[in-house]
């Protein structure tokens, strides 16, 4: 709870309920500690300079290194004094600073961070739907890189001819097998007209044989005188 702010009871109850919900969520990945209300269970730092964010997330390995600091704000606590008293300190710690604000105060929180040069790794908005809060990330700093992030392998560029071949294969439509043309029905030839049998030629009567020429009568011999 902020040392310069006294929240209304209803708002403080809602604030502490969100802390407990996020605590249960982060326990799966981190060793999580919380400081709801006026409790001081998990400090960051030692001695009088120790601070008590709403949530403190440590690595689960043997080193228990500090990973994330989470601060949840309500509508009245998103202001210039709160930003200078708490956010500015959290932003200078060697851990990711996550800020949760009501959805209606996102623009105000962004402007306060920019005006006061406060480095915030992530800004989340929340709104109450029924009895359950819903969270949405609205800002993520590119400079914030998790120490446990793995180095991505360098991928060699693919040769241009291969790229072109792949592009053609993707862009070109898949050729469909040509459908076999249905065989055309054979045209029926008109049936040949039956050849009428030639009428038998009427036998013409054979011409009568030419009569043999009758021998001419010999001319009578003249008598010698």
* pLDDT value at 36 more than 70: yes
Residue 124: beta bridge partners? 100, 137
Q: Which two tokens stand for residue 115?
A: 């005006």
Confidence of residue 56 (pLDDT cuts 50, 70, 90): very high
Q: Is the pTM of this model over 0.75?
A: no
Q: Give me the pLDDT at residue 149, please.
A: 40
Residue with tokens 């006026």: 38
* Residue 204 per-residue DSSP state: P
Q: What is the pLDDT of residues 138-173, one digit of tens each?
A: 999 876 444 444 334 444 444 555 556 655 655 555
């Amino acid at each position: 709870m902020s040392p310069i702010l006294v929240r209304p009871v209803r708002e403080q109850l809602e604030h502490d309920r969100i802390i407990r919900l996020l605590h249960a969520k982060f326990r799966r990945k981190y060793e999580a500690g919380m400081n709801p209300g006026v409790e001081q269970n998990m400090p960051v730092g030692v001695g009088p300079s120790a601070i008590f964010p709403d949530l403190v997330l440590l690595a689960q390995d043997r080193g228990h290194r500090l990973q994330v600091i989470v601060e949840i704000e309500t509508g009245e606590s998103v202001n210039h004094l709160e930003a200078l008293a708490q956010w500015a300190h959290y932003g200078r710690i060697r851990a990711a600073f996550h800020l949760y604000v009501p959805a209606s105060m996102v623009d105000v929180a962004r402007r306060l961070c920019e005006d006061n040069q406060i480095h915030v790794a992530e800004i989340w908005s929340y709104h109450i739907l029924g009895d359950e809060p819903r969270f949405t990330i609205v800002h993520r700093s590119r400079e914030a890189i998790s120490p446990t992030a793995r180095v991505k392998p360098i991928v060699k560029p693919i040769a241009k001819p291969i790229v072109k071949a792949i592009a053609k294969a993707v862009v070109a439509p898949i050729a469909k097998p040509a459908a076999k043309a249905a065989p055309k029905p054979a045209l029926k030839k008109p049936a040949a007209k039956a050849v009428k049998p030639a009428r038998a030629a009427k036998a013409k009567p054979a011409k009568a044989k030419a009569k043999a020429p009758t021998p001419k009568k010999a001319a009578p011999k003249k008598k010698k005188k």
